[in-house]
Structure 1
């Protein structure tokens, strides 16, 4: 991902207008630092997931995909920092926007999180 593309895009939502998108590496580091407030088992799971996602999206060149990726991860960072992660739920609209592959990944993540919780 090229950090220069991030500077070219203006956020569409008013709550994002005050906070520009972080460059990919900075966002990655901030997310891993924010995970320190999570319980140890959730932190390990979250760190693995973040590392895998950023690695999988490292070679993306499409500016729209890059901005969407960074925007969603920045929203995630805000929810972790704000403490909203405990009560976070996906709306019907958000689920409708997901592809079958994304829903499958979400289901696998849920199963993994439940397995860690039961142990």
Structure 2
């Protein structure tokens, strides 16, 4: 029996969602303050938007956010951002072709917010 299967049997869906949500917010504590605020807000908005999603959408949502949490944990490492690998991940053009119009719009908004924060940081 694999680890994922065991977790599914122990926790209800709602508990798994809450655990993932809290894990992501805890991981964000390892980010620079500006990115933490941006990441927290984006995460809260996305989890709120998907409360009434179909079971298929929910499965995809949980897989992708779990992958995000794993990637972020690896990038942050145990020593914090000053010793970690670069944060982020490039999206391949092939992956972008699979995004819906709404997802592209959200990605553009996230990019603009992230680059605006970076510009403000550079001006300090």
TM-score (norm 2): 0.75
Greater relative CO, 1 or 2 (CA 8 Å, sep 6+)? 1
Deviation at 1:115, TM superposition (A): 0.5
- Structure 1 unpaired stretches of 5+: 1-16
Query: What root-mean-square deviation, in Å, do the aligned CA atoms of Structure 1 and Structure 2 show?
Result: 1.9
- Of 45, 64, 67, which aligns to 1:72? 64
Q: Is the 8 A contact 1:79 1:85 kept in 2?
A: no
- Which residue of the partner structure matches residue 103 of structure 1? 104
Deviates more, 1:96-105 or 1:68-77: 96-105
1:50 aligns with 2:50: no
Deviation at 1:90, TM superposition (A): 0.3
SS at match of 1:38: coil
- Correspondence for 1:38 among 31, 39, 57: 31
Q: How many residues align structurally?
A: 102
Q: Structure 2 unaligned segments of length 5 or more: list them.
A: 9-15, 76-84
The CA distance in 1 between the partners of 2:26 and 2:112, in whole Å, is: 25
Once superposed, which parts of structure 1, at least 4 consecutive aligned residues long, lie more than 6 Å away?
none
